[in-house]
A and B are shown apart, each in its own frame.
Chain A
Amino acid sequence: MASIELKNVSYTYNKSLPSKITAVDDVSLKIDSGITGLIGHTGSGKSTLVQMLNGLIKPDQGEILLNGNNIWADPKKIRDIRFKVGLVMQYPEYQLFADTVEDDIAFGPKNMGIEGEKLNETVESAAFFAGISKEILKKSPFELSGGQKRRVALAGIIAMSPEILVLDEPAAGLDPAGRRDILGGIKVFSKIKNTTVIIVSHSMEDMAMYCDDIIVMAKSKVIAYGTCSEVFSQHELLTSTGLDVPQITRIAAALKKNGIDIGDDIYTVDYAVDKLIEKYKK
């Protein structure tokens, strides 16, 4: 799988003004497989970090390495990096513009220079992974429901066959079924296409369900990075930075206080039930 690495990366907004804000402060980390969740609340620097991954923002200091190569080695070639690191921004349905769903999905691949039969194949395969049925392809994107539009926008990025897929709040504003559809689809895509995925979200429950690893950002720095169980077991650290932990993690913590210890790495309901039954079944 493709890897992306940050080495001592910093970025400051309004550098020359007294109102300057350091959004990312000396962050180093490496992501090279599976689905990684990035959590932290508004203003923690996660959105800035995400925009640095595909070169929308150039770091003031430090390097960003894609598969070991500095993405800013040749600034003229930064456009190629954007195809390799696909970024789905927040509420991506508001970027749709083409007459048909098909044309909209094809915008990215066309910019890459893909044409003809290859283009059709790319669009169809992307639509498949995003859960878009064939008859929708000829429709105008503006006739679709909110959830469908979101999937079209996702397909538009998947169609560029990125080596790394970055999604900023992909499930925001969707209902539970919509969340499951889109996050489940991303998981399948990651597995089948062997793509490294980074998801930014506020929802601990979703993160716990779909991610392998979790990065926690607070005040422009990474304060925790590890597997789901490693990170969620530090629930005191999470709550102290104002982040929520899944309700089930809070139940497990309260159980432990009452003398029922089912471990610190509880973050899904099914796992908690299994652990409890396994350990304490009459």
Chain B
Amino acid sequence: MGSDVIFGQYIKGDSVIHQLDARMKIIIAILYIVIIFLAHSVSAFILLIVATAVFIIMTKIPLRLLLKAMKPLMIIIIVTAIINMFWFTGKTLLVKFWIINIYLEGIINSLLIITRIILLIMATSVFLTYTTTPLKLTDAIEYLLGPLKVLHVPVHEFSMMMTIALRFIPTLIDETHKIINAQTARGANFTSGGLISRAKSLIPILIPLFISAFRRADELATAMECRCYTGGDGRTKLNVPKTSCADWIFLLVIIVLGVAVVLLNTFIPIYSM
């Protein structure tokens, strides 16, 4: 149960996108987000929708799972779009009712905003959360931030903390369940009473949980010392990230997409935002 949490939304697979170097995926994702913000014209959006659809197909992840990720955000997206629609003033008035004026430009603008948000979610899902394990992401971030070590930023330590946090989240979730069960067995009541009594009823859970976390931290530190851990200096890696041909091709495709979006914005400006 707990280990589903550490893997977040990662979906196992062996597609081209799964196999891309995590460092490159971070760079590609950032570039792609920038490109999505650059798009203003309907023509540019159509290109991006097509491109994103191609990427989704390449991941071989069922669309159903991708849509599931959107569900919790759908309400926010729709509300944002509707508010935007009412506020927008354009040339072609479609509906006039009481103080509400809805323009054609407003509707199109709202649709573009929805598209943009959906594209942003899809882009990060496809390149990062759905196809890259948190562990690889952590390693990649450590690598990309590597130059900051010169400025004495403890990049390795942050990455180590992330790794250990990912490792212990499921353990501590299980532990919390156990403690809740144990105290429930002693008649503890977490669901009734006022705010203060409810907060108080958490003490029998939080104290054992903290004590256990400290004990685990202490034992882990000892174990790490026994395994010759002395910090980041001189460490090697089991899996050295390697960029392959595919990584560079993808980067190139993204750059070409960016150029195309700018060109479409300028030369085919249909209903520009």
Q: Which A residues form the contact surface with B (CB < 8 A)?
A: 51, 54, 56, 79, 82-83, 86-87, 89-90, 92, 94-97, 107-108, 111-112, 142, 156-157, 160
Chain A residue nearest to B201 in the complex (CB): A111
Which residues on B sit within 8 Å (CB–CB) of A111?
186-189
Which residues on A sit within 8 Å (CB–CB) of B175?
94
Chain A residue nearest to B179 in the complex (CB): A95
Which residues on B sit within 8 Å (CB–CB) of A94?
175, 178-179, 208, 211-212
CA distance A54 to B186 in the complex (A): 10
Q: Is the CB of A157 within 8 A of B187?
A: no
**Given known contacts A97-B208, A107-B204, A142-B211, A83 and B187 CB-to-CB distance under 8 angstroms:** yes
For residues 214 through 231 of chain B, which have their beta carbon under 8 Å from a beta carbon of chain A? none
Which residues on A sit within 8 Å (CB–CB) of B187?
79, 82-83, 108, 111-112, 160
**Given known contacts A95-B208, A97-B208, A82 and B179 CB-to-CB distance under 8 angstroms:** no
Checking B181, B185, B189, B203 against A97 with a beta-carbon cut-off of 8 angstroms, the contacting residue is B203
Checking A56, A97, A112, A156 against B184 with a beta-carbon cut-off of 8 angstroms, the contacting residue is A56
3 interchain residue pairs of minimum CB distance: A111-B187, A97-B207, A108-B186
CA distance A112 to B212 in the complex (A): 27
Which residues on B sit within 8 Å (CB–CB) of A51?
181
Q: Is the CB of B204 within 8 A of A97?
A: yes
A136 to chain B, nearest CB (A): 19
Q: Chain B interface secondary structure, helix, strand, loop or mixed? A: helix
Q: Is the CB of A79 within 8 A of B189?
A: yes
B84 sits at the interface (CB 8 A): no
CA distance A156 to B181 in the complex (A): 14
Q: Is the CB of A82 within 8 A of B212?
A: no
B19 sits at the interface (CB 8 A): no
For residues 154 through 205 of chain B, which have their beta carbon under 8 Å from a beta carbon of chain A? 175, 178-179, 181-189, 203-204
Q: Which B residues form the contact surface with A (CB < 8 A)?
A: 175, 178-179, 181-189, 203-204, 207-208, 211-212
**What are 25 residue pairs bridging A and B, where the CB atoms are less than 8 Å apart in the complex?**
A56-B185, A79-B187, A82-B185, A82-B187, A89-B178, A89-B182, A89-B185, A92-B182, A94-B175, A94-B178, A94-B208, A94-B211, A97-B204, A97-B207, A97-B208, A107-B183, A107-B188, A107-B204, A108-B186, A111-B186, A111-B187, A111-B188, A142-B211, A160-B186, A160-B187
Chain B residue nearest to A85 in the complex (CB): B185
A82 to chain B, nearest CB (A): 6
Which residues on A sit within 8 Å (CB–CB) of B207?
97
Which residues on A sit within 8 Å (CB–CB) of B186?
82, 107-108, 111, 156-157, 160
Chain B residue nearest to A89 in the complex (CB): B182
Q: Is the CB of A96 within 8 A of B189?
A: no
CA distance A87 to B187 in the complex (A): 11
B129 to chain A, nearest CB (A): 20
Which residues on A sit within 8 Å (CB–CB) of B212?
94
| Highest count of chain B CB atoms <10 Å: which of A51, A94, A160 | A94
